Copies of this chain bind each other. A is one copy, B any other.
């Protein structure tokens, strides 16, 4: 259980931090201005992102996320963790390094389960940062946390599959660069429970696909990325778009979600770390009732609790990453569920306190805090609400003690 940063990781981290300092933080306002400049026509590529992507590629900071792959940097989960944390400090910076969701998960699926043909067509441009992708799983009408509930129909028809259904919270589907969806749907309602689902590739421009609307998160549209509701009406794709084979959707989902969850947690820790930094700096710069806020004990309490909870959560995340590397995602499922619950819970408290010390600036766009809070609040819901993961953890505890007798 060695959590020290390896020399390789440290080298990337130094480079990444230098890049963040030199190019990302100074451009946070540029990003906001370019987006604001679009007026109401916000679903456009933001130029500074494309510029920074080129620079990141040149700096060798590209596709860092793929564990033990010959694509990208080939870092382990443990090596990638501090890098993802660093990226989490700035809301949109992951994309700069081609490390942003849902592309990372989709690239992993294509790497592991795609055919040569599927990889040539979709994985290559994704790895190159030329196109983006979406993952169509959640449905508005059912509790999708229970994957067996999913209703979208994928029906075989000759050499094609025909898809009918409605998906929402399809993140990234608002982006004009988003060209491909990985869709989860039901091929056989009569099969054994975990063999009913399949995953299939659906090009975004297939007839019958309609992006109905975007879903704001609190008041943020997260343009041009967005979280969309997508209707699929008699959408026809060739049978060769099926991933791995009919009935294997659940299996792929299991493989996809572990890394996705840990990446989110790592970034969340970075967001909390930045919020704490902002909170501390603000407390040192403001005076109320004749005393620096930094000298008021209620802020000692909040700052100390924030530091403690960040440290504890980071260590648990590193442990989960280390287990994924050493014993595999399946054995690490309890640890992954634990950080899935713990990281957002921790970060929301830290960010909320940081907002409090900033007053009005904290809820507005003058700090990244409110936007960060809104995004992380969704992590308590996305990919299974807290309650589902807590149930899983509790049942694993019971099973362990039952076995011990």
Q: Which chain A residues (381-404) contact chain B, with CB distance < 8 Å? A: 381-382, 385-391, 393-395, 397-398, 401-402
A303 within 8 A of B: yes
The verdict on A7 contacting chain B, using a C-beta distance below 8 Å, is: no
CB-CB contacts of A326-348 with B at 8 A, as 1s and 0s?
A: 00000000010010011000000
Once the chains are docked, how many angstroms separate the CA of A280 from the CA of B404? 12
Q: Is A18 an interface residue (CB 8 A)?
A: no
Residues of B within 8 A of A206 (CB): none
A73 to chain B, nearest CB (A): 21
Asked whether B356 lies within 8 Å of A286 as measured between CB atoms, the reply is no
Question: Among residues 264 to 311 in chain A, which have CB atoms less than 8 Å away from a CB atom of chain B?
Answer: 276-277, 280-281, 283-284, 286-289, 294, 296-301, 303-305, 307-308, 311
Interface string of A20-62 (1 = CB under 8 A from B): 0000000000000000000110000000000000000000000
**Within the oligomer, what is the number of copies of this chain?**
4
Contact-residue bracket for chain A:
35 or more
- How far is B337's CA from A305's CA once the two chains are assembled, in angstroms? 11
- Say which residue of B40, B215, B218 sits within 8 Å of A360 (CB atoms): B215
- Give the distance to chain B from A221, nearest Cβ to Cβ, in Å: 7
Q: CB of A257 within 8 A of chain B?
A: no
In contact, B284 and A374 (Cβ under 8 angstroms): no
Residues 103-131 of A contacting B (Cβ, < 8 Å): none
Measured between alpha carbons, how far is A392 from B289 in the docked complex, in Å? 12
Residue pair A312, B217 in contact (C-beta under 8 Å)? no
- Whether B365 lies near A216 (C-beta < 8 A) is yes
In whole angstroms, how far apart are the Cα atoms of A161 and B227 in the complex? 51
Q: Inside 8 A of A382's CB, which chain B residues have their CB? A: 360
Interface string of A123-147 (1 = CB under 8 A from B): 0000000000000001010010110
Collect the chain B residues with CB atoms within 8 Å of residue A1's CB.
2-4
Q: Judging by beta carbons under 8 Å apart, are B289 and A398 in contact?
A: no
Chain B residue with minimal CB distance to A361? Answer: B140
With CB as the reference atom, state the residue of chain B lying closest to A168.
B360
Say if the beta carbon of A380 comes within 8 Å of chain B. Answer: yes
Stretch at the interface among A90-98, A232-240, A313-321: A313-321
The 8 closest A-B pairs by CB, nearest first: A219-B219, A40-B40, A219-B220, A2-B2, A312-B312, A304-B390, A315-B315, A304-B393
A–B Cβ pairs within 8 angstroms, 7 of them:
A143-B286, A219-B370, A280-B397, A283-B398, A284-B401, A311-B338, A363-B378
Seen from chain A, the residues whose Cβ lies within 8 Å of a Cβ on chain B are: 1-4, 39-40, 138, 140, 143, 145-146, 168-169, 215-221, 227, 276-277, 280-281, 283-284, 286-289, 294, 296-301, 303-305, 307-308, 311-313, 315-316, 319, 335, 338, 341-342, 355-356, 359-366, 370-371, 373-374, 377-378, 380-382, 385-391, 393-395, 397-398, 401-402
